[in-house]
Amino acid sequence: MKQKILFFFLFIPYTVFSQQLEHVDAIKFKSLIESGEGIILDVRTPKEVANGHIAGTSAINIADPGFTKKAGLLPKEKPIYVYCLTGSRSAKAGQWMVQNGFKKVYNLQKGILDWNRNGYPVEKSEDAVANTATKYTNDDFNKILKSKKVVLVSFYAPWCAPCKKMEPDINKLIEKYKGKIEIIKAEIEANDELAKALKVLTVPTLLLFKKEKQVWRNDGAMSFDALDALLKKQ
């Protein structure tokens, strides 16, 4: 009887995690991506990613010691579409993700090799550049709040695809509201202490401060029009 009970409790985590981590072929994977509901995650090395990746990919190398910290910043309520070369590394990444609160993870079972075999498109890039992000201490940030009536902070990460998509819009807003609203781009790793102080747990995250007090927050991407409409009211 005791053996049966032990087997039951050992089996529960496996069944729960297997329900959340689904292994799919390239056809299904492409269909899921095209729904536009989730985050595409490539867990290969930077060189592999640069040589060819699925469009719209967020890239976090599973061999990076900071993988769990970076992956933990992704929105857990959204579906994650994870892949690597053959499906092995991404399966391990997916297992970690479901064990750490991600609601639904889809693994490209035979990796990008299967994607390529189906003739689906890939992008090539050279994104491995030095991190030159500005670092703000908590004191620096408090001084900005005291000197500016309205401050918008945009937390981002260079590997985050939604952040990359938003970057041109943030830059346009910086130009549009120059001298009126202070807009800060805060790379989350360079500003980990500030992120901790402001309870930022995902990227992108947007925070609006007015007269030194936080008055608005959005965890996730936003369109230019939505942000512009918000700032016009300030």
Q: Tell me the C-alpha distance between 216 and 1, whole Å.
A: 55
| pLDDT score at 125 | 73
Q: Is the pTM of this model over 0.75?
A: no
| pLDDT score at 202 | 86
Question: pLDDT (tens digit, 9 = 90+) per residue, 149-158?
Answer: 999 999 998 8
Give catalytic residues, as residue numbers. 160, 163
Answer yes or no: same fold for 2-117 and 138-232: no
pLDDT exceeds cutoff 90 at 126: no
For domain 138-232, say whether CATH 3.40.190.10 is its number.
no
- Range name among 20-24, 89-93, 131-135, 139-143 with the lowest pLDDT average: 131-135
Can you read off the two tokens belonging to residue 119? Answer: 């003739």
Residue range 144-150: average pLDDT? 97
| C-alpha pair distances (Å), 93 with each of 65, 96, 100, 105, 106 | 13, 5, 11, 10, 11
- Class of CATH domain 2-117: alpha beta
Q: Tell me the C-alpha distance between 181 and 126, whole Å.
A: 33
Q: Tell me the C-alpha distance between 83 and 59, whole Å.
A: 10
Q: Tell me the C-alpha distance between 227 and 206, whole Å.
A: 10
- Provide the residue ranges of all domains of the chain, joining segments of one domain with +: 2-117, 138-232
Residue range 98-123: average pLDDT? 94
Whole-angstrom distance between the N-terminal and C-terminal Cα of the chain? 66
Give the residue with greater pLDDT, 17 vs 216: 216
Q: How confident is the model at residue 201 (pLDDT cuts 50, 70, 90)?
A: confident
pLDDT exceeds cutoff 90 at 108: yes
